[in-house]
Amino acid sequence: MIPLSAPGPINVGPPTAEMLEKMRRIRFCVIGTFVAAVGRFCTGDIPINEVLSGCVGIFLLSDDPNVGPCYACLANSPLGQCSHGLTCVMAYAFLSGINAIFLTLKLFVGGPFVLVSFVCQGAGAYQGLKLHNLVNANMADGPMAPLQRNFPGPGPPETPGPQPPSFQAFQGTGMRLGG
C-alpha cells in the first residue's frame, strides 16, 4: 500500500529576526532566478531548472507577504500537496547549489541571463545553508530540546546469559533413510 499523505510538517517555531534577514535575501535570489528564467526563455533556452528552483523558493517563502500571492497560486495547483515554509529550506539550498554547479559549465557561452541565474542560485544556496543552520540551532533550543540533549544512553551493560553451543559442520549422527 502506498501512503497518500505525508507526515505533518516539522514545527520549527516562529522565525527569528536573523532567519527573517536570511529569508529576505533568499527572496531577492528567487526573484532574480525567475527574471533569469524569463530571459533565458526569451533567448531560446529552456530554463526548467530555474523554474523548479524558483518554485521551491516560493514554497520556502510562503509566509512572506511579498511572495504570498505567488504561493497562493501554486498552493491551489496540484503542487499544493508539497510542504511549505522553513521545512523547504534544505531542498531549496540543495537544488540551487546543484543548479549553480551545472551553470558553471555554460557560464561563458550562455549569455548574460545564465550569469544572472548562476549568481542568484549560488547566493540562494549559500543563504539557504545559513538559514538551515539557524533553523537547526533554533530547533535544538526549542520545545524538542529535552528530547535532543542529555540523553542518558542505553543504560548499564547487561551480563551475558548462557550461550548456545556453537555450530560445527559435519558433527552429529545425521538422519538415516529407511531404517
The per-residue pLDDT for 67 is 87
For residues 63-67, give the mean pLDDT.
Answer: 87
Q: Are 54 and 96 in contact (CB under 8 A)?
A: no
**Predicted confidence (pLDDT) per residue in 150-163, tens digit:** 555 555 666 777 77
* Cell numbers found for residue 167: 555450530
Q: Are 24 and 57 in contact (CB under 8 A)?
A: no
Q: What residues contact 172, with CB distance under 8 A and at least 6 apart?
A: none
Q: What residues contact 3, with CB distance under 8 A and at least 6 apart?
A: none
- Name the least confident of 48-62, 67-81, 86-100: 67-81
16: confidence class by pLDDT, cuts 50, 70, 90: confident
What value does the mean pLDDT of the chain take?
82
In terms of pTM, does the model score above 0.75?
A: no
Among 12-21, 70-79, 123-132, the range of highest mean pLDDT: 123-132
Q: Which residue has the higher pLDDT, 163 or 21?
A: 21
* Cell numbers found for residue 39: 530571459
Q: Which residue has the higher pLDDT, 145 or 28?
A: 28
12: confidence class by pLDDT, cuts 50, 70, 90: low
6: confidence class by pLDDT, cuts 50, 70, 90: very low
34 exposed, middle or buried (CB, 10 Å; 0-12, 13-18, 19+)? buried
34: confidence class by pLDDT, cuts 50, 70, 90: very high
**Predicted confidence (pLDDT) per residue in 78-135, tens digit:** 887 777 888 889 999 999 999 999 999 998 888 899 999 999 999 999 999 999 998 8
Q: Phi first, then psi: what are they for 176, rounded to 5°?
A: -105, 140
Tell me how far apart the alpha carbons of residues 140 and 143 are, in angstroms, rounded to a whole number. Answer: 8
> Measured over all CA atoms, what is the biggest interatomic distance in the chain, rounded to whole angstroms?
90
